[in-house]
Structure 1
Amino acid sequence: MLFLLNDVVFDLDEACPATPADARRFEQLGFDYVLELGCELFAEDPLLHRNDPARARRLAWLIANRSPDVNAALFAAPDAGCEPDLVEPRFCALPEAVIRQLQAKGRRLDAVAADRAVWNRLAA
């Protein structure tokens, strides 16, 4: 399964980012907790998806695991070190063709291209 996190496409079908022991621990976590965790992580580092892709991939895996219809998430933080309440999370279910097209852009995919294709936050 492909998952768009901000402007990075992760392939969640590759080796599971969580160990079997961690996966069992995560079973108890609800979607609200995962949402709060994502906001905390992106409040700490708004470029988490670029600066720590392993951690970002685990977050994407948790989101997809808790809400299987969701395959795209955006965590918009105004500044590094901001309060987690200021992080604006958004989720959606994209057609796989759209995510594959974004994945094909590879390194050329950036926040503006992802916004234009998915989030429309910068639209006037």
Structure 2
Amino acid sequence: MLFLMNDVVFDLDEASPVTLADARRFEKLGFDYLMELGCELFAEDPLMHRNDPERARRLAWLIHDRSPEVNAALFAAPETDCDPALVEPQFCALPEMVLNQLMSRGRKGKLDAVAADRAVWGRMAA
């Protein structure tokens, strides 16, 4: 299962990023709580998906676990250490073909915020 987090595609089928103990501990957390958690994490570090990919992968796994149809998340933070209320979260369900293309671009070093925005989010469109 592929999951796009901002402009990085994670393979969630690789070894689980969450231990069984953590999975049990987090099972009562709802999607809204995870959205707030994501906003807090990206408020601290808007590039968390690149600077701490394991943490971002765990967040992606938790989001997908709570909402299986979601396979893409964007947490747009205006600056480091900003108020979490300023982080704009977006979620969507992408076709598998699109995720495979994005992963291929990422492996070639051609997937960045602008490319992901053009392909998925459309935030920079005029």
Compute the TM-score of the two structures, normalised by the length of structure 1: 0.99
CA distance in 2, matches of 1:5, 1:39: 13
Give the SS at the match of 1:39.
helix
Aligned to 2:41: 41
Deviation at 1:16, TM superposition (A): 0.4
Deviation at 1:43, TM superposition (A): 0.1
CA distance in 1, matches of 2:66, 2:115: 27
Size of the aligned set, in residue pairs, is 124
Give the SS at the match of 1:75.
strand
Q: Unpaired runs of 5+ in structure 1?
A: none
Aligned to 2:120: 118
1:18-33 to structure 2, matched below 5 A, reads 18-33=18-33
CA distance in 2, matches of 1:119, 1:30: 24
CA distance in 1, matches of 2:113, 2:63: 20
Deviation at 1:108, TM superposition (A): 1.4
Give the SS at the match of 1:109.
coil
Deviations, residues 85-116 of structure 1 (Å, cap 9, x unaligned): 00000000000000000000122100000000
Give the SS at the match of 1:55.
helix
CA distance in 1, matches of 2:63, 2:19: 16
Q: Unpaired runs of 5+ in structure 2?
A: none
AA aligned to 2:37 is L
Q: Aligned residues: percent identity?
A: 77
Aligned to 1:66: 66
Root-mean-square deviation (Å):
0.4
AA aligned to 2:119 is A
Structure 1 consecutive aligned stretches of length 4 or more whose deviation exceeds 6 Å: none
Give the SS at the match of 1:108.
coil
